[in-house]
Amino acid sequence: MSDIAQLFDLTGKVALVTGGSRGLGREMVLAFASAGADVVVVSRKREACEAVAVEVEALGRRAMAWPCHVGRWEEIAPLVEAVYEQFGRLDILVNNAGMSPLAPSLTETDEALFDKIVGVNFKGPFRLAALVGERMMAGDGGTIINVSSTGALRPEPRFAVYAGAKAGLNALTTALAFAYGPKVRVNTISPGQFLTDVAKSWPQELRDHTPGAIPRCGLPEEIVTTALYLASPASSYTTGAILRVDGGLP
């Protein structure tokens, strides 16, 4: 069993999680810290990042809180520079930040909303993964985890732009796996419906039941084992993959 535990050991590693101050991102931040990694917590609000950074430090790990709007291209490079200046390396990148506002209709989706959704869900992850992937490949390697959505696999008109952006993220995973492999592994987690704070605005019926083989929403902590698998040596032969964590949605 000790050998199995070592497969998931992240001691000495540095991880960066966007959207890391709440929901699935926060769960991954704390899981990585519990497994031994130092963690960079990134989200738009500094105070929220700092609050989770305190939790990381309480686990005995180093933490860095960095406010960044990942949809703004100009904020990406300073983030990467700051991480390498403070830690000297980055081993795990999780592109978790996302947004999925619903437009009244397809024709009423204005350009500003379209650009905002694509910026956060695709443009930002592309730029961050490109900058970090190059450094990982030139160094000791690493792993990049993109957090997509089952919406990309089961798109509906009411979230068409979001689904398209996440589908683009799925395609990007494959491209990056070939661009930076074999030293850098790139994979996607495709979550289904999880009871994060975003779910508070869902209809009660959606919160209580899903059409999956496991007909309920996921609990935030149920993302942890998949994230640890992809972040650790346990997944040494897994790259370019899309791992669905959705309760078996059809």
By annotation, the residues acting in catalysis are: 148, 162, 166
Alpha-carbon dihedral sign for residues 99, 100, 102, 106: positive
Q: Residue 103's closest CA among 93, 116, 86?
A: 116
H or E element in which residue 109 lies: none
**DSSP character for 12?**
T
Please state, in angstroms and as integers, the Cα–Cα distance from residue 89 to each residue in 4, 13, 59, 66, 222, following that order.
Answer: 26, 8, 21, 16, 28
Helix axes 111-118, 160-180, angle to 10 degrees: 30
Cβ neighbours, 10 Å, residue 1: 5
- Edge-to-edge strands, sheet with 63-67: 63-67, 38-43, 14-18, 92-95, 142-147, 184-191, 242-245
CA angle 69, 74, 79 (to 5 degrees): 65
Buried b (16+ CB within 10 A) or exposed e, 140-156: eebbbbbbbbbbbbebe
Rounded CA-CA distance 146/70 in Å is: 13
